[in-house]
């Protein structure tokens, strides 16, 4: 793996860090929470103007034409600031599959609006009791198009999206992926409050009529393959976000323990505290390096399933250890919602649960090794 970013990738990383560092401050995020604003509109507009939203979108559609890694690096900064911007759902789960599988008409219809920030995309992959590539939501041929019926119970950015990515089961049992306008008749989005205090949507589709042109792609790639393609990139992107959240957590802990004194000594000098800080640093480096490895392999078009499983294990297992240790060494301050650490703790906890527990990832890696 080459750990050096090229000039354009480094520019996206730096721009995201500067914009989110300036816009998504603790005071700003606290105000957004008080006002119940789900998206930091100022940060979102600035990311669009700087080209971050269109990093992976071809130039002919208003983007920059970079690969997966540039957007992944920007997402690390989203995690580092706990910024409420729907970059994961819009850029990774929305724009990238349209770029990869969409028809020319679909690319022209949606990619320019994604790049300029006017269109937020949400993907309804998750359904209870089944895999994303084996949905229970159904799509039935109806005239020249399709009728969609089903429920997507936890859709990130679903309350603010203008476009929904919806996998559905066709009568022959296959999976197909549809591009559904969020304001289509029969689409209902209901608020669901979750761990991070940033609500998601329960999307219900009741007799939603879409045209044949709503089917993502030209039929040359199966819907199940499209969903798995999106899943892989989404999981690696979440690991990148966890890397950012973990690093910001230990930086807060380091700054606090150097200032906080007991018995006329900074608590950072106590052996127990310094040991936990050292362990957290090692964990954070492992989360970061494995996430970068997974993102780089995806960007280079190399097999990445094992790398993503390794990154998921570190992100899920070590990510929670890092934020838990940061809260612990802060004492009572760590659980105060007027202090920024709680955002990283809640984000890390939700991503840990979303990525799955460590035992699942170790079992998957074990099966892969045994099969190889």
Rounded mean pLDDT of the chain? 93
Kindly write down the DSSP assignment for every residue of 64-112, as one continuous string.
----HHHHHHHHHHHHHHT----HIIIIIIIIHHHHHH--HHHHHHHHH
Higher pLDDT, 152 or 197: 152
Higher pLDDT, 372 or 235: 235
Taken in order of first residue, the domains within the chain and their CATH numbers are 7-119 (1.10.540.10), 123-214 (2.40.110.10), 223-371 (1.20.140.10)
Alpha helices for the chain (secondary structure H): 7-23, 26-34, 41-50, 68-81, 87, 96-101, 104-115, 223-259, 271-299, 305-313, 319-330, 341-355, 358-371
Mean pLDDT of 190-195: 93
Give the tens place of pLDDT for each residue, 105-121.
Answer: 999 999 999 999 999 99
- Asked if residues 121 and 163 have their Cβ atoms less than 8 Å apart, the reply is yes
Mean pLDDT of 176-204: 95
- Give the list of residues 6+ apart from residue 371 with CB closer than 8 angstroms, or none: none
- Assess whether pLDDT exceeds 80 at residue 89: yes
Find the helix or strand (DSSP H, E) in which 147 lies.
strand 145-155
The pLDDT of residue 233 is: 98
Give the tens place of pLDDT for each residue, 204-263.
Answer: 999 999 999 999 999 899 999 999 999 999 999 999 999 999 999 999 999 988 888 788
* Token output for 308: 């993503």
Higher pLDDT, 222 or 357: 222
Residue owning tokens 């540039």: 70
With CA atoms as reference, report the closest residue to 76 among 122, 21, 17: 17
Give the tens place of pLDDT for each residue, 132-148.
Answer: 999 999 999 999 999 99
> Confidence class of residue 364 from pLDDT cuts 50, 70 and 90?
confident
The pLDDT of residue 3 is: 65
- Asked if residues 335 and 327 have their Cβ atoms less than 8 Å apart, the reply is yes
The pLDDT of residue 1 is: 61
- Assess whether pLDDT exceeds 80 at residue 358: no
> Confidence class of residue 63 from pLDDT cuts 50, 70 and 90?
very high
* Least confident segment among 78-87, 186-195, 324-333: 324-333
Strand pairing report for 200-211 and 175-181: unpaired
Angle at alpha carbon of residue 247, lines to 257 and 71, rounded to 5°: 160
- Assess whether pLDDT exceeds 80 at residue 357: no
Give the tens place of pLDDT for each residue, 287-343.
Answer: 999 999 999 999 999 999 999 999 999 999 999 999 999 999 888 787 888 899 999
Mean pLDDT of 78-101: 97
């Amino acid at each position: 793996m080459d750990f050096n970013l090229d000039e354009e990738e480094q520019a996206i990383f730096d721009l995201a860090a500067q914009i989110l560092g300036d816009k998504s401050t603790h005071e700003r995020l606290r105000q957004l929470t008080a006002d119940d604003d789900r998206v930091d509109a100022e940060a979102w507009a600035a990311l669009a103007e700087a080209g971050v939203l269109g990093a992976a979108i071809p130039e002919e559609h208003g983007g920059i034409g970079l690969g997966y890694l540039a957007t992944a690096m920007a997402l690390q900064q989203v995690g580092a600031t706990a910024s409420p911007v729907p970059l994961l759902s819009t850029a990774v789960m929305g724009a990238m599959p349209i770029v990869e599988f969409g028809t020319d008409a679909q690319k022209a219809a949606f990619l320019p609006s994604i790049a300029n920030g006017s269109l937020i995309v949400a993907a309804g992959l998750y359904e209870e009791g089944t895999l994303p590539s084996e949905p229970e939501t159904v799509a039935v041929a109806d005239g020249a198009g399709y009728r969609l019926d089903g429920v997507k119970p936890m859709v990130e950015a679903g309350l603010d999206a203008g476009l929904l990515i919806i996998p559905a089961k066709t009568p022959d049992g296959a999976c197909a992926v549809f591009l559904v306008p969020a304001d289509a008749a029969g689409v209902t989005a209901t608020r669901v409050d979750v761990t991070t205090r940033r609500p998601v949507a329960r999307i219900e589709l009741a007799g939603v009529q879409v045209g044949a042109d709503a089917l993502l792609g030209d039929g040359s790639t199966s819907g199940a393959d499209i969903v798995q393609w999106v899943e892989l990139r989404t999981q690696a992107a979440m690991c990148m976000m966890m890397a950012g959240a973990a690093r910001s957590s230990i930086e807060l802990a380091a700054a606090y323990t150097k200032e906080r004194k007991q018995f006329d000594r900074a608590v950072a000098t106590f052996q127990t505290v310094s040991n936990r800080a050292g362990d957290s640093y090692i964990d954070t480096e492992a989360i970061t390096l494995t996430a970068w490895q997974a993102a780089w392999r995806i960007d280079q078009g190399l097999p990445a399933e094992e790398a993503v499983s390794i990154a998921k294990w570190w992100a899920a297992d070590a990510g929670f250890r890092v934020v838990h240790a940061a809260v612990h060494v802060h004492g009572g301050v760590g659980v105060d919602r007027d202090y920024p650490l709680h955002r990283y703790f809640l984000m890390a906890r939700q991503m840990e649960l979303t990525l799955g527990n460590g035992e699942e990832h170790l079992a998957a890696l074990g099966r892969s090794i045994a099969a190889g």
